[in-house]
Amino acid sequence: MSFAILRTTKLKDWGNISASLQHTFRERLTPNADEIRTALNAHIGGNNSEQVLQKIKDGLPDKYRADCVKCVEYLITASPEWFSQANEQERLQYFHTAQEWLKERHGVDNVKYVGIHLDETTPHLVAYVVPIDERGKLNCKAFLGGREKLSQMQSNFAERVQKFGLKRGVEGSKAKHQRVKRFYGHLEQETPKMTMEDITPKLLKKGLFQDTYEDDQVVVDRVNAKMQAILDHKTAQINDLRQKLGETQAKLQKTQQELSKMRFNEQMKQSQAKVQEKQKNLSMDDLKRSKGFGLGR
């Protein structure tokens, strides 16, 4: 059974948005992408990260909180086995349907970029959307606020693409998809292992004088598939760790900035206190003079 895969990432910091766009346009090192196939990637809405970044900035309202979600990154794909069975026309139709779903969900003007990556093991669509609600407000919660809305989103998308033979994931499950680059199973599962069963030809028919076993090429294909599954799982784990490291570094940087701001405010308070103390002393001197208590003859 093949599944439709849809995940979202909330982007608040311009640094994170820029880094994500640079990955999308392969402007930074992307180990899991095939450089030879990168030219096959399609870009709708911009030719480089700077263009799309500016479109996102231009799509924001005049006033918004600095810590709000400025952009939502969508990743849409399907189970690897579906792509291995689907022809090119079916793949294109699937991604076109996904793009139209995004436009209906957010409005054409708010979908700033849509790209299709064909240089990784599993093709996928990446989109950057400014979450403007019906009132024209920047409001990510209107689309992704709470488990119920997220579940409704998954169900709605699954209904739209079910004509391609794709199913929705288990509703209400706590499964976690990988971030942006790999989508092969669940990270919490154990890494697949090569077994004797994988490398041993299977008995197809037991004969009276001679048994029939599967062809050597079938065994080779099975071993290659298992090796790829192991590699994909390890790559997904590495990418997940990189994401967590990046999030931790971002939180650390934010904490350092807040601490610096607190220190600055404390220094300002101390400086103001000293100034006020000096002003108070000067005022006392003036008062003594006015009362006839001269400070000198």
pLDDT score for 239: 66
Question: What share of the chain has pLDDT > 70, as a percent?
Answer: 84
* 82-132 tens-digit pLDDT: 998 899 999 999 999 999 999 999 999 999 999 999 999 899 999 999 999
Angle of CA points 16, 19, 25, to nearest 5°: 140
pLDDT for position 250: 78
Domain ranges across the chain: 4-175, 190-262
Contacts of 68 (CB under 8 A, 6+ apart): 12, 138, 140
CA-to-CA separations, 135 to 70, 118, 143, 251, 275, in angstroms, rounded: 16, 37, 13, 31, 49
Predicted pLDDT of residue 31: 79
Report the predicted TM-score, pTM, of the whole model to 2 decimal places.
0.60
Q: Taking the CA atoms of 124, 127, 131 and 135 in sequence, report the sign of the dihedral they define.
A: negative
What is the band of 233 on the pLDDT scale with cuts at 50, 70, 90? low
| Each residue's pLDDT tens digit, 270-288 | 888 888 887 777 776 666 6
pLDDT of residue 89: 93
Would you put residue 194 in left (φ > 0), alpha (ψ -120 to 50) or beta?
A: beta
pLDDT digits (tens, 9 = 90+) for 166-188: 998 655 444 444 444 444 344 44
**Average pLDDT over every residue of 63-74:** 93
7: left (phi over 0), alpha (psi -120 to 50) or beta: beta
CATH number assigned to the domain with residue range 4-175, chosen from the 4 options 3.40.50.1820, 3.30.470.20, 3.30.930.30, 3.40.50.720: 3.30.930.30
